[in-house]
Amino acid sequence: MEQILPHLDSVFSIDCVLFGFDGKELKILLIERNEEPFKDWWALPGNIVGADESLDQSASRILYELTGLRGIYMEQYYAFGDPNRHPQGRVITLAYYALIRLGGDKELRPISNYAKRANWLPITDLPKLAFDHQKIYDKGLEKIKRRIKHQPIAFELLPEKFTLTQLQHVYELVLGKKLDKRNFRKKIVSFGVLKELDEKQKGVSYRAATLYRFDKRKYAKLFGKEISF
């Protein structure tokens, strides 16, 4: 670390990969750029870190400005700093991911002034992305794939009350493979972090499934032990 801090022409930003789940598909939030460079391209939402913000605060603010959401599980996962990643100068960016349940209750607040529009697009059919955002997204997906095996992040994608089938569905989408129903249930229940409710699913035209809730207290007690898929 230097004693005398040089005045450098560099910018530090945060880009966010917001994974959303609507009950069917995994999606990410993208904005359509309205200015050069990469005018009309889709890009990850991001912004510059404020002078008096910590990184996590900054990420929360950015998420809030872009979606109106607060209290979402977010984590930094990688810094991208290729000198040529931004055509207009040196921009080092720190990538965060967040997991969000879509639809139903809250609608997302429209995006501020960044873009023509913002949209949740299914990850199975993404457009070409501006800058190195494809790389940032790829690494983010990789990250949550690994993370979901060890940490209870899947619940962030689901409503507070959910069925085991929905939970399994999330795992299958993120991991990109089918899981065995009985083995999945056996294992997930054996972790002891789910609370079975007295309630049943509603509005389905078939046998209603039991609802569960993620039990943060029980999870806190487990801390240190590794969950594993």
Q: How many of the other CB atoms lie within 10 Å of CB of 17?
A: 26
Give how far the C-alpha of residue 70 lies from the chain's centroid of Cα atoms, to the nearest Å. 13
Residues with Cβ within 8 Å of residue 38, at least 6 apart in sequence: 130, 131
CB of 189: closest distance to DNA in angstroms? 8
Residue 182 sits in the site that holds DNA (CB under 7 A): yes
Q: By CB under 8 A, tell whether 93 contacts a second copy.
A: yes
Which of 31, 91, 99, 164 forms a contact with DNA (CB under 7 A)?
164
Contact with a second copy (CB under 8 A) among 90, 143, 195, 213: 90
Considering only 35-43, 184-192, 196-204, 209-217, which stretch makes contact with a second copy by CB under 8 A? 35-43
Please choose, out of 64-72, 81-89, 180-188, 194-202, the segment that lies near a second copy by the rule CB under 8 A: 81-89
| Residues 151-190 as x/- pattern, contact with a second copy by CB under 8 A | ----------------------------------------
Q: Name which of 72 and 209 has its Cβ closer to DNA.
A: 209
Q: Which is nearer to a second copy, 137 or 212 (CB)?
A: 137
Measured from the CB atom, the residue of 124 and 183 that comes closer to DNA is 183
Residue 119: how many other CB atoms lie within 10 Å: 13
Q: What is the DSSP string of the chain?
A: --SS-----EEEEEEEEEEEE-SS-EEEEEEEE-SSSSTT-EE--EEEPPTT--HHHHHHHHHHHHH---S--EEEEEEE--TTSSTTSEEEEEEEEEEEE-SSSPPPPPP-SSEEEEEEEEGGG---BSTTHHHHHHHHHHHHHHHHHHSS-GGGGS-SEE-HHHHHHHHHHHHTS---HHHHHHHHHHTT-EEEEEEE--S-SSPPPEEEEE-HHHHHHHTTSPP--
Q: Based on the shown chain and the rule CB under 7 A, indicate whether residue 142 belongs to the binding site for DNA.
A: no
Residue 9 found at the interface with a second copy (CB under 8 A): yes
Q: Which of 63, 91, 100, 154 binds a second copy (CB under 8 A)?
A: 91
- Binding at 90: pick from DNA, a second copy, none (beta carbon under 5-8 Å per type): a second copy
Binder of DNA out of 4, 88, 105, 206 (CB under 7 A): 206
Give CA–CA dist 102/21, Å, rounded.
Answer: 5
Taking CB under 7 A as the binding criterion, the range among 6-14, 27-35, 67-75, 201-209 that sits at the site for DNA is 201-209
Where along the sequence are the contacts to DNA (CB under 7 A)?
163-165, 180-183, 185-187, 204-210, 228
